[in-house]
Amino acid sequence: MKKYPLISISITVVFLIIVASFTNVVGIHSIESSNNKITTNEVDQKDLLFQTIIDLNNNKEIQQIIQKYQTSRKGFFNPIIKLFGLNYPTITKDQLKKMYSIGLLLSKYLSKSKVQSMLQEHQFFTPEMQKEIAAIIEKNATIREEITQLLNTDCGCEKSKKWGFPIICATILVMMVLWAIPMQLLMTIIALILWPSNTIFQLILLYMLSLYPFFILYTLFDCPLPYHNHQPFVSDISPANGELIVFLENLTELRFRLTDEDGDLINYTVETSPYIGEGAGTSVPNGTYTVPINGLTNSTTYTWDVYLKVDDITWFRNRFTFTTAPIAPVVSNPIPKNNAYVPISTSNVSFNLTDYQGDLMNWTFETQPDIGSASAHIAGNGRYTIAINGLEYETQYRWFVNATDGTYWTNNTYIFTTTSE
């Protein structure tokens, strides 16, 4: 067995979600059946899933992409990999089979809303990362065909809320608890004595494997965890949460989707700040809902809260924000940056000028002390560069950009200081 199978198995969660998110990539709705295509009845779903995960995880190009994005920011698995000094692991079908029952048990307990919240919190996926992986899948015929078969397969894997063998299931749970507690104490004592991190990791793996027979029995007798009510959750919001440039044209409503995995009816209330509208619903089913809004202004950040009622008493809040587009011209990305130190050889400054309504602009550029100036009339969106000269050592310079679209003005001031000789 490989030295670090747990990390390999945990990373397979990534590829399960990738499989579910690449419907458009492989063109599943446009692929026609062929004579040599494997049908649903002919495909062993579990083996096909395992093989797909293995092919995705062990693909060198995909490994490089994930490593690149994990090392460039605080990724979901990055702390684990850094802590134990691991390289990107490969996995085998034997490892997947060993962890299958544990994963099956967890899937009966973890709700989709919980998984979604974990992914949103850690932000493992980025659009750029998905695009790069999608390109690799698109050119890899084997992986593309595997995903196509999975997406065409009806797993029939609905959750059961009933206990198939209540006495046996209860007995298994008691046995598992009686075994797990002393094993956990023993592992803790050993871990305190054998402090090195790689030893601790192996002890965690050994502890999980010691519970493996109980998970096998638990699955064999169709023993789901006792049913608990899942919290409803909000998704598919519009405008998108955190969106910075939202145009007022045709923005007449807030849109969101409510989902309760148990099929329970939902009570909700929507509030906004600054106030632009409100809404509420009582005992509504899963679906998409809207709240009319009006009175929005440019260059304003709005907050809207969706309160969902979990039971007869408890409400919990989902908070979202968006910012409307500025109506005046916007100066951005100045070079040199504000308060920067620059060499005396600096020969120009530059900036972006944007009017989000598409209006033409007049702008002027001035400096103090005078090292250059410029102006333009009827200018469009773009980046502008102005030459400067006559800089002296250890001197602070201010430069001003004033722009107007004929109605609204923008005045920006930036500072830079030259270095010593």
The answer to whether the beta carbons of residues 349 and 335 sit under 8 Å apart is: yes
CATH number where 277 lies: 2.60.40.1220
Q: Is residue 91 part of a domain?
A: yes
State how many domains the chain has.
4
Q: Clarify whether residues 94 and 193 are in a common domain.
A: no
3-state class of 54 per DSSP?
helix
Paired tokens of 172 = 């298994």
134 and 15 share one domain: yes
Are 89 and 202 in the same domain? no
Q: Is residue 44 a part of any domain in this protein? A: yes
pLDDT band per the 50, 70, 90 thresholds, residue 164: low
Query: Is 204 or 1 the better-scoring residue by pLDDT?
Result: 204
142 and 176 share one domain: no
- How far, in Å, CA of 100 to CA of 261, rounded? 23
Quick one: 399 and 348 in the same domain?
Answer: yes
Tell me, yes or no, whether 255 and 316 share the same domain: yes
The boundaries of the domain holding residue 290 are 233-324
Please check whether residues 350 and 258 belong to one and the same domain: no
Contact 215, 222 (CB under 8 A): no
Sign of CA dihedral 309, 311, 316, 320: negative
- Span 171-187, average pLDDT: 76
pLDDT value of position 27:
37
**Whether 253 and 188 share a structural domain:** no
Whether 118 is covered by a domain: the verdict is yes
What does the alpha-carbon distance between residue 295 and residue 248 come to, in Å, rounded to a whole number?
10
- In this structure, are 24 and 127 located in the same domain? yes
Q: Is residue 410 part of a domain?
A: yes
- When mean pLDDT is compared across 261-270, 338-347, 376-385, the lowest value belongs to 261-270
Same domain, yes or no: 254 and 390: no
Q: Which of 125, 151, 177 is the last residue of a domain?
A: 151
389, part of any domain: yes
16 falls within a domain: yes
User: 19 in a domain, yes or no?
Assistant: yes
- Most confident of the ranges 139-143, 172-176, 222-226, 390-394: 390-394
Residue 50 class from Cβ within 10 Å (0-12 exposed, 13-18 middle, 19+ buried)? buried
Q: What is the mean pLDDT of residues 227-250?
A: 85
pLDDT at residue 132, rounded to an integer: 80
Mean pLDDT estimate for the chain = 75
Least confident of 96-105, 126-135, 144-153, 281-290: 96-105
Is pLDDT larger for residue 253 or for residue 177? 253
pLDDT above 90 covers a percentage of the chain that reads: 36
**Residue 160 domain-assigned (yes or no):** no
Which of 204 and 162 is assigned the larger pLDDT? 204
Bond prior to 336 in cis (omega within 30° of 0): yes
- CA atoms of 364 and 372, how far apart (whole Å): 11
Domain shared by 307 and 351, yes or no: no
pTM of the complete model: 0.47
Q: Residue 129: its pLDDT value, please? A: 73
Q: Are residues 261 and 399 in the same domain?
A: no
DSSP one-letter string for 2-50:
-S-HHHHHHHHHHHHHHHHH-TTTTTTTTPPP-TTPPPGGGS-HHHHHH
Indicate whether 286 pLDDT > 60: yes
